[in-house]
Structure 1
Amino acid sequence: MKTILDKQQLHLTILRLANQLVENHLDLSDVVFIGLQPRGVKVSERIVEAVKKLSPQEKLQYGVLDITFYRDDIREELHVANKTEIPFSIEGKIVILIDDVLYTGRTIRAALDALQDFGRPQKVELCVLVDRRFNRELPIQPDYCGKSIDTLISQKVKVEWEKEEVVLY
């Protein structure tokens, strides 16, 4: 077990990602933030809270997206779906997808498929806390990345919110 981000580094990384988002989108009126269920929700909530503090005059639109039934790699197992809650239109908007760890890219591909049910965004950007750079199965790269790491297939990256750290097993 190795700590990738300790508590202080995790807080600073979330703040840095929020600053980058505000820097790149000075007007947030056409931007919507969507956290991916289940593990992207906690990081997305923290990033959106940080963005709110940086731009208190803006009314942010935030939702969560479950991609369970859009995945192509879970056919054998029975999965319980989480809640999708997108109480606004994404038509013509800039969608910021937020997830905790980018690994193979399959979760993001499923999220892109699921988004089509909610309209056609102007643009989709990806924000991740940790990018496991190698072992990607699809040509998907983050627009905003907290930390890039090199890992083996046998290793796991876990964001432990109780301890507020990111760990490599």
Structure 2
Amino acid sequence: MTQKAVLLDEQAIRRALTRIAHEVIEKNKGIENIVLVGIKTRGIYIAKRLAEKITEIEEKEIPVGELDITLYRDDLTKKTDDEEPLVKGSDIPCDITNQKVILVDDVLYTGRTVRAAMDALMDIGRPASIQLAVLVDRGHRELPIRADYVGKNIPTSSSEKIVVELKEVDNIEQVSIFEK
């Protein structure tokens, strides 16, 4: 893969998350009964950052959970018998029943990860609603899923790949596009 361009740098990521935080507050008329749930791995760090921004604005903390969707993925049957899925476990700090759950992920592509996350959430509790926040929407949906909050829409071809790198995981902060 060759890198074509850096689409978002550290400052652009911060601005996008600030805007999403304001949109979450505005759409939900505050932060009552809201729980942010990040999809492992990078969605967790984005969710934590969103929670920090929301806390700055509203001066009230918001619960943040972690969701591991490994066992809910529809591509598990494609793995060889030698490869057991690595399950990291979910950590939801409160009961999500009757709460507004905002799923958070780094990139929205086919929609299959989000579908798996919704299945995992429903096994944990029954939220009043589920909303979706993503840093990047790259298009090419295979399922009828759309994000409620988007940091940046980046139309791509199927031969391109979007790579989100965050300090917490990658020691660098950027969103890049690569040619496969």
Amino acid at match of 1:157: I
Matching residue within 146, 150, 153 for 1:145:
150
Matching residue within 163, 167, 179 for 1:158:
163
Aligned to 1:76: 78
Give the paired residue count.
Answer: 167
Cα distance in 1 for residues equivalent to 2:34 and 2:107: 22
Cα distance in 2 for residues equivalent to 1:59 and 1:146: 22
Cα distance in 1 for residues equivalent to 2:94 and 2:164: 29
Aligned to 1:25: 28
CA contact (8 A) 2:44 2:65 kept: no
Cα distance in 2 for residues equivalent to 1:36 and 1:13: 18
Amino acid at match of 1:12: R
Further displaced range: 115-124 or 78-87: 78-87
Summarize the alignment of residues 33-72 of structure 1 with structure 2, pairs less than 5 Å apart: 33-56=36-59, 58-72=60-74
Per the normalisation by structure 2, the TM-score is 0.88
CA contact (8 A) 1:158 1:168 kept: yes
Once the two structures are superposed, residues 53-81 of structure 1 have per-residue CA deviations (whole angstroms, 9 ceiling, x without a partner) of 1111x231110110000010122323211
**What's the offset of the Cα at 1:47?**
1.0
Once the two structures are superposed, residues 139-160 of structure 1 have per-residue CA deviations (whole angstroms, 9 ceiling, x without a partner) of 0000000000111112111111
Percentage of identical aligned residues: 41
Unaligned ranges ≥5, structure 1: none
Amino acid at match of 1:15: T
Summarize the alignment of residues 116-131 of structure 1 with structure 2, pairs less than 5 Å apart: 116-131=122-137
CA contact (8 A) 1:94 1:124 kept: yes
Q: Which runs of 4+ in 1 moved over 3 A?
A: none
CA RMSD of superposed structures (Å): 1.2
**Secondary structure at 1:75 match in 2:** helix
Aligned to 2:109: 103
Once the two structures are superposed, residues 14-33 of structure 1 have per-residue CA deviations (whole angstroms, 9 ceiling, x without a partner) of 11111111122233221111
In the alignment, structure 1 residue 93 sits paired with structure 2 residue 102:
no
CA contact (8 A) 1:29 1:59 kept: no
CA contact (8 A) 2:51 2:61 kept: no
Unaligned ranges ≥5, structure 2: none
In the alignment, structure 1 residue 168 sits paired with structure 2 residue 174:
no
Once the two structures are superposed, residues 33-54 of structure 1 have per-residue CA deviations (whole angstroms, 9 ceiling, x without a partner) of 1000112111111111111111
